[in-house]
């Protein structure tokens, strides 16, 4: 592949006399137009000097080959199962055509951008520039405004439509930030300070009575509870293996080292004095003051790393990007969705943890489809390299998590203002594993959560992937004719894929024990179980599991505890129901580590 830098040099040599005829004469053509979500209200006009970090996506003409290879290396019945691609092989498959690189370089040159002004992704498929609003408006023939979120003190600089010269349309897939109105949030539904339930499970000093973990699990979830109820009590990972696990952190959520030690002293004394590696992304901080500790970050690292201990390669990424804009300050530090900053960073690393959990997301419809597809394609690149990506499915059921028919939050964002179920993103991406939430009822039966509602449904952007066709069709066949017709896309990618406990996790936050619930808890807990499965495979001389769904929906399906009680309430309805087999509330169910380990190690003829 000819480098983008060399293309720029060639273009610069021919552009010295001025813009090309094509750039001068071709009219602008609209590239994308969106309706701003109802929650975002036009607030003001940004300063013309306000700096935007503009990202230009060049087409990936060979992505279909990458996708096929991703499925091949992730299918336990394919001869290439586990033969994951290298970073360099993935980059070759997503590299743009030289013609596209040349066209974009020429366009940027006419607007005064030199080679040193550009940030290029390793594959050359993304070009990033820092540009004042006034110039961005000229380049994109648009007008930016400051929008304020009606329910939060949050501001962004966006436009609802942008254009490009006609000759560029085949060479540019999208430009952002322009039309993305997402509001990244943690899927954490509750934080409960020490209460009577916790006191019943602790001694006078506040220490958890670990010997009673089995009987206390209906009120408080500990590491011992997860291992006991998911059949992982007798497994000890090998710390000498090249195993690894990672947690993403956003929105100024900092994982506190002291809180982790308190957690270990409380629940896992053998892990005392072990920790994790902090990595800054895009200027992300590592504030270790007690009042800066993040409940979400503490929850994620304590249970993901506690369940996977003594696996030593544990990483927490702190990614900056909250809030994206404060009008009174004029110039923000970042105007992109933070998880794309993280994705760019990780794709450029030679070594990436084998399993990564993210407890954040947006409503799918607030993320323009072209942008969602491009981000999803980035997740596919990691999957092809052997990385398991887990995302919380959300805490709002099929949309708003409420059953009040008067609620207006389940409204389409297409200008029709129609009532509809709302999918979540990135959980709706077919190349990730979406994790729903469960809890234990008074009879110690695992059911779908009732204190919040596990994010569930069907994507409006992504078609149903082949690996889940049979299971989803089987579920849809059980629904009475006409059930929720028009409220969801029957042929869309269905989620969640799996589930795990998501209620009343005992976490140390700011030096104190608290209970935290939400699918924010489910995803890191499931990631801990996947790390144990990878440990078993690595110990047997096998590669890590990589992209999980093709295995889970086929050979691994027998390794789950089927959850048949509960609903994904929302949008004035009771939502979908949990049922025998896969369902859009708890997916395939919760993990039975012992069974999944046997299936992950078994030869196909033994299954």
CB 602 within 8 A of CB 558: no
Rg (CA), the chain: 24
HEC string of 339-407 equals HHHHHHHHHCCCCCCCEEEECEEEEHHHCCHHHHHHHHHHHHHHHHCCCEEEEECCCECCCCCCCCCCC
Q: Is 519 helix (H, G, I), strand (E, B) or coil?
A: helix
CB 78 within 8 A of CB 393: no
Q: Which residues pair with 132 in a beta bridge?
A: 51
Separation of first and last alpha carbons in the chain: 43
**583 assigned to a ligand binding site:** yes
Nearest by Cα to 229 from 20, 500, 566: 500
The Cβ of residue 540 has, within 10 Å, a number of other Cβ atoms equal to 10
Active-site residue list:
296, 300, 520
Strand 119-120 and strand 185-186: the pairing is unpaired
- Report how far residue 401's alpha carbon sits from residue 427's, in angstroms, rounded to the nearest whole number: 16
Q: Which residues pair with 441 in a beta bridge?
A: none
- Report how far residue 299's alpha carbon sits from residue 508's, in angstroms, rounded to the nearest whole number: 8
Q: Which residues pair with 414 in a beta bridge?
A: none
**563 assigned to a ligand binding site:** yes
- Report how far residue 431's alpha carbon sits from residue 427's, in angstroms, rounded to the nearest whole number: 9
The H or E element spanning position 24 is helix 21-25
What residues contact residue 396 under an 8 Å CB cut-off, 6+ apart? 422, 424, 452, 453, 455, 570
Q: Which residues pair with 163 in a beta bridge?
A: 30
Nearest by Cα to 584 from 499, 519, 496, 522: 496
**383 assigned to a ligand binding site:** no
Q: Is 6 left (phi over 0), alpha (psi -120 to 50) or beta?
A: alpha
Q: Is 288 helix (H, G, I), strand (E, B) or coil?
A: coil
- Report how far residue 163's alpha carbon sits from residue 29's, in angstroms, rounded to the nearest whole number: 5
Angle at 148 between CA 55 and CA 462, to 5 degrees: 50
- Report how far residue 569's alpha carbon sits from residue 448's, in angstroms, rounded to the nearest whole number: 11
Q: How many CA atoms lie within 13 A of 412 on its CB side?
A: 13
The H or E element spanning position 526 is helix 519-539
- Report how far residue 155's alpha carbon sits from residue 213's, in angstroms, rounded to the nearest whole number: 45
- Report how far residue 539's alpha carbon sits from residue 430's, in angstroms, rounded to the nearest whole number: 29
- Report how far residue 198's alpha carbon sits from residue 190's, in angstroms, rounded to the nearest whole number: 15
Q: Which residues are annotated binding-site positions for Ca(2+)? A: 562-563, 581, 583
Q: Which residues are annotated binding-site positions? A: 562-563, 581, 583
């Amino acid at each position: 592949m000819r480098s983008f830098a060399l293309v720029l040099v060639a273009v610069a040599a021919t552009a010295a006399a001025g813009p090309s005829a094509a750039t001068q004469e071709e009219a602008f053509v609209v590239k994308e137009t969106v309706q701003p979500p109802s929650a975002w209200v036009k607030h003001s006009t940004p300063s013309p000097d306000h700096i935007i970090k503009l990202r230009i996506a060049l087409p990936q003409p060979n992505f279909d080959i990458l996708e096929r290879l991703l499925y091949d290396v992730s299918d336990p019945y394919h001869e290439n199962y586990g033969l994951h691609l290298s970073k360099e092989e993935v980059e070759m498959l997503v590299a743009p055509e030289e013609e596209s690189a040349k066209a974009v370089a020429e366009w940027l040159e006419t607007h005064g951008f030199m080679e040193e002004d550009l940030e290029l992704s390793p594959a050359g498929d993304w070009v990033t520039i820092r540009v004042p609003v006034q110039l961005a408006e000229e380049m994109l023939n648009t007008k930016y405004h400051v929008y304020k979120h009606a329910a939060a003190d949050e501001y962004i600089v966006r436009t609802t439509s942008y254009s490009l010269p006609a000759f560029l349309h085949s060479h540019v897939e999208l430009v952002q930030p322009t039309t993305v109105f997402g509001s990244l949030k943690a899927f954490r539904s509750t934080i409960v300070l020490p209460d009577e339930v916790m006191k019943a499970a602790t001694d006078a000093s506040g220490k958890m009575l670990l010997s009673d973990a089995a009987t206390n699990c209906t009120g408080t979830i500990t590491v011992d509870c997860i291992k006991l109820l998911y059949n992982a009590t007798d497994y000890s990972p090998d710390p000498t293996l090249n195993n690894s696990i990672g947690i993403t952190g956003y929105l100024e959520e900092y994982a506190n080292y002291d809180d982790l030690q308190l957690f270990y002293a409380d629940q896992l004394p053998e892990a005392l004095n072990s920790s994790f590696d902090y990595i800054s992304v895009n200027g992300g901080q590592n504030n270790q003051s007690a009042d800066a500790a993040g409940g979400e970050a503490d929850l994620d690292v304590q249970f993901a790393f506690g369940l996977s201990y003594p696996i030593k390669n544990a990483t927490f990424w702190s990614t900056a990007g909250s809030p994206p804009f404060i009008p009174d300050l004029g110039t923000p530090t970042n105007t992109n969705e933070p998880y794309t900053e993280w994705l760019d960073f990780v794709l450029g690393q030679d070594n990436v943890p084998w399993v990564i959990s993210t407890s954040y997301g947006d409503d799918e419809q607030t993320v323009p489809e072209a942008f969602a597809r491009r981000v999803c394609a980035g997740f596919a690149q990691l999957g092809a390299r052997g990385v398991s990506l887990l995302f919380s499915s959300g805490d709002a059921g099929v949309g708003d998590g409420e059953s009040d028919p008067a609620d207006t939050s389940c409204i389409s964002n297409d200008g029709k203002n129609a009532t509809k179920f709302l999918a979540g993103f990135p959980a709706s991406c077919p190349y990730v594993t979406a994790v729903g939430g469960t809890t234990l009822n008074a009879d110690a039966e695992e059911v779908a959560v009732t204190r919040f509602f596990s994010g569930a449904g069907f994507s409006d952007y992504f078609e149903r992937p082949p690996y889940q066709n049979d299971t989803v069709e089987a579920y849809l066949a059980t629904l009475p004719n006409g059930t929720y017709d028009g409220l969801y896309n029957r042929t869309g990618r269905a989620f969640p894929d799996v589930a795990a406990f998501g209620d009343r996790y005992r976490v140390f936050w700011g030096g104190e024990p608290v209970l935290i619930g939400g699918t924010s808890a489910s995803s890191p807990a499931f990631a801990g179980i996947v790390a144990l499965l990878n440990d078993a495979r690595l110990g047997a001389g096998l590669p890590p599991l990589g992209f999980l769904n093709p295995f889970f929906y086929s050979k691994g399906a027998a390794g789950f505890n089927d959850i048949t009680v509960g609903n994904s309430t929302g949008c004035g309805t009771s939502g979908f129901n949990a049922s025998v087999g896969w369902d859009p509330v708890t997916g395939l169910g919760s993990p039975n580590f012992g069974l999944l380990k046997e299936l992950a190690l078994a030869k196909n003829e033994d299954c």
